[in-house]
Amino acid sequence: MIVASVRAGILIGLALTILISIPLQKIVVAEGPGVNAQGAILMEQDSGRVLYGKNEHQKMRIASITKIMTAILAIESGKMEETVTVSERPLQAEGSSIYLRKGEKIVLEDLVYGLMLRSGNDAAVAIAEHVGGSLEGFVYMMNEKATEIGMRNTYFSNPHGLDDHENHYSTAYDMALLTRYAMKNGQYRKITGTKTHRAPQDGEKWDRIFKNKNKMLQMYEYSTGGKTGYTKRAKRTLVSTAKKDDFELIAVTLNDGDDWNDHMNLFNWAFDTYDLVAIVQKGTIAGLENEAYKNKVEAARTFYYPLTEEERELVKNEISLVKPPENGEWKKPPSPVGQLTIFLDDKAIGQLPLFIEGTYRELEEETFWGTIKNIVTKFFMITVQYG
């Protein structure tokens, strides 16, 4: 339950504003452990908060962590149970391989396991041809998806990350965004966290056995998945994910000769420094005095955010609600009826839709933000700030 702590109120025109005193102390950013990487980031999964960064927006070559995009597009295609007939082109891919044969038939899901666990470049091309209709068509899909999820400093030229194109790059930040997106998919989570996968082999009595190259799954008790990468030009790249209780993290390092240790150090530092705090609990908001809203407004979901002990005192919330009828009774309440904005040291860190109890409908996370953007411009508002 959320309680609004009110100090004073003034009625001006059509808007009611209630304010409270705000702490004057400034946020102190926690200092991370440092890494050997040229580019690095540590991001919290639920909120997307960046807990640590080093040249995180610098465009760099990324090697096989490219395959995270290839995997999620394959999963989202709805074709995972389809059988792929391998063409000549996958056999021409250099480097890591699951040793496909021309004309071989293999289920797309097994190709994705071979892609993620063994980093098969031949698997990447076979996936691209089946899902995209052609390698070039799939690359177009990759860049469309990158734009869709906000990867502003990324361009893909192939599905595997080999250095066969000059124009193939991303940033640590963009790869964290991609991983955060992919980790919302249950099938991706399962695949990336699998240590060993057995795949039937067309025309053979024995199966292919894929053992995951991501040593974090063996080395670190909280590891949940990720993707390794290496080329001569990109050097070592690594994306890894970890979860301790409900606290989930994403680490990305680019050009890092000590990536295993750097990722473990980043994770341990974050788990020791931050707590995942439920700033807003899903349910009724107490403290609203207007009869149209009193004990009738609920938050659509719980809002979690990683905070240091010092930051807890710097959080405040602002509620904006549609102006109610003069008699205080709705014939049909709008849905949503308003929004709750969460601030950390006067910086907005999140928003939640608000509903009159009994009118709440489930909203996909992707629709929250589009709904909220239009509320202020469509209605007169009551604004409440509380800490």
> Which one of 54, 96, 119, 227 is the catalytic residue?
119
Three-state secondary structure along 107-166?
A: EHHHHHHHHHHHCCHHHHHHHHHHHHCCHHHHHHHHHHHHHHCCCCCCECCCCCCCCCCC
Contacting residues for 302 by C-beta, under 8 A, at least 6 apart? 278, 280, 281, 282
In 10 A of CB 338, how many CB atoms?
25
64 flagged as catalytic:
yes
Residue 110: name the closest of 2, 206, 197 by CA. 197
Residue 44: name the closest of 309, 250, 315, 189 by CA. 250
Residue 229: name the closest of 170, 141, 149 by CA. 170
Planar angle of CA 26, 339, 280, nearest 5 degrees? 60
Rounded to whole angstroms, what are the CA distances from 10 to 29, 76, 82? 36, 52, 64
378 flagged as catalytic:
no
> Which one of 5, 47, 54, 64 is the catalytic residue?
64
> Which one of 54, 67, 227, 316 is the catalytic residue?
67
232 flagged as catalytic:
no
CB 261 within 8 A of CB 330: no
The catalytic residue positions are 64, 67, 119
